[in-house]
Amino acid sequence: MDTLQNLGRWALGMFERLGRGHLFLLYVLMGTPGLLFRLRLVVQQVYSVGVLSLLIVTVSGLFVGMVLGLQGYNTLVDFGSEEALSVVVALSLVRELGPVVTALLFAGRAGSALTAEIGLMKATEQLAGMEMMAVDPLRRVVAPRFLAGFISMPLLAAIFSAVGVFGGWFVGVGLLGVDDGAFWSQMTAKVDFYEDIVNGVIKSAVFGFVATWIALFEGYDAVPTSEGVSRATTRTVVHTALAVLGLDFVLTALMFGGV
């Protein structure tokens, strides 16, 4: 009977949390239209969420593209079709690696920072103080961060993919001697704008939405102690990674799979 009760308590707690998360999202979304008049707040957050993530995203994109170039070349050269290297590099970056790896990096670089920041604001009772002054912290603190994450993610993913293509180009054309003209022409022939690029952008926007939502909610819902904030930060990274990978499968199945 005790195990049943524990199971029930656990399930109820989970559903409660899920409900709190969705209500939180609803309030945050309701707070975003008002931000049009306070763009300065959003710009500030785009700086800390997007601009400061630029370095890690660019460097990772470059190296992922270069590794794809090397690995793809080694396989394709056996079939004498190393010109298809650009297609391998571009499609895997634009469709999958760009959005997914950027979202994982985003969770580690920006998501954890958001959680820690909001969690500490809660722990030091800054949020409560705002409420005392009749300032809605959801509108003043959380909504700008949400919008900033949602704007930054697709841009970061696009930069990741573009830099990755150049990384692949550098290894393929620069080091391994694939023909430059064939590299670009094969790529433009096989990569479709609507099918591949637009779908990749949609993916990254969805991941940005989910990653920012999880990070902000974990911070807002954190137990207001040092331990609680540290746990919330860990949960942000883990849950975002799981959510992104799971959603990626669903989105891929919907977009490309014909499932």
The pair of three-digit structure tokens given for residue 213, joined into one six-digit string: 């939502």
75 is a contact residue toward other proteins (CB under 8 A): no
| Coil/strand/helix, residue 259 | coil
67 is a contact residue toward other proteins (CB under 8 A): no
The pair of three-digit structure tokens given for residue 257, joined into one six-digit string: 């799979």
In angstroms, the CA 54 to CA 204 distance is 15
Nearer to other proteins by C-beta: 178 or 201? 201
In angstroms, the CA 175 to CA 169 distance is 9
117 is a contact residue toward other proteins (CB under 8 A): no
We find the least distance from the C-beta atom of residue 56 to other proteins, in angstroms, to be 13
189 is a contact residue toward other proteins (CB under 8 A): yes
Nearer to other proteins by C-beta: 98 or 119? 98
The pair of three-digit structure tokens given for residue 98, joined into one six-digit string: 């760009």
Q: What angle do CA 220, 224, 228 make, to 5 degrees?
A: 90
- Taking contact as CB under 8 A, which single stretch among the options 28-36, 119-127, 155-163, 232-240 is the one that binds other proteins? 155-163
- Taking contact as CB under 8 A, which single stretch among the options 6-14, 67-75, 161-169, 211-219 is the one that binds other proteins? 161-169
In angstroms, the CA 117 to CA 229 distance is 9
Report the amino acid identity of residue 128.
A
Provide CB contacts within 8 A for 175, sequence distance 6+. Answer: none
147 is a contact residue toward other proteins (CB under 8 A): no
- Taking contact as CB under 8 A, which single stretch among the options 104-112, 180-188, 208-216, 248-256 is the one that binds other proteins? 180-188
We find the least distance from the C-beta atom of residue 72 to other proteins, in angstroms, to be 15
Q: Based on the number of CB atoms within 10 Å of its own CB, is 243 exposed (0-12), middle (13-18) or buried (19 or more)?
A: middle
According to CB under 8 A, which residues from 6 to 35 bind other proteins?
A: none
Report the interface residues with other proteins, using CB under 8 A.
Answer: 40, 43-44, 46-47, 50-51, 54, 90, 94, 152, 154-156, 158-159, 161-163, 165, 184, 187-189, 191-193, 196-197, 201
